[in-house]
Amino acid sequence: VLFSAYFALQVIYARRKHKISPPETTGHPEFERIFRAQANCSEYFPIFVSLLWVAGIFFHQGVAAVCGLLYLYTRFKYFQGYAAAAQGRLGPLYASARLLWLLLGLAAAGLLAHFLLP
C-alpha cells in the first residue's frame, strides 16, 4: 500500500510540475513516463499479492516474504528507472518478472504438495 501511495504521489507531483490537469494522461515526456510507470505497477499489484498470499500459505511464509520484499524493491527500481528514461525500466522489469515466476512456482509447488501428498 505504501508503494502504491508513493507512486500515486509521484504522478500528482509530476502533474503539478508540468501543469497537466486530470484526466489528461499525455503531455510532457517525463510526466508520461511517471504516469505509465505508476499504471504498470498498479496493473501487476493484484497478481503479485495473489501469488504472495498463496505461496506464503501453501509453500513457506519466510521464502514468500523474501521474494515479496525483493519484488517490491525491483518495482521501486523499475519506477525510478522509468521515471528517468524509458530504457531504465528494463533491468528491474526483467528482475520483477523473474520474481513473479518464482512466486508462481512456489505457489504451484505448495498447492500440489498440499492436495496431492498425504
Q: How far is the C-alpha of 35 from the C-alpha of 66, rounded, in Å?
A: 28
- The reply to whether 98 belongs to the active site is no
DSSP state of 86: G
Selecting among 15, 33, 75, 89, the annotated active-site residue is 89
* Alpha-helical segments (H) within the chain: 2-18, 29-58, 61-84, 90-116
Selecting among 16, 36, 75, 98, the annotated active-site residue is 16
Task: Say how many C-beta atoms besides its own lie within 10 A of residue 47's C-beta.
Answer: 12
- Name the strand (E) or helix (H) holding 24: none
Cβ–Cβ under 8 Å, residues 104 and 51:
yes
Catalytic residues: 16, 89
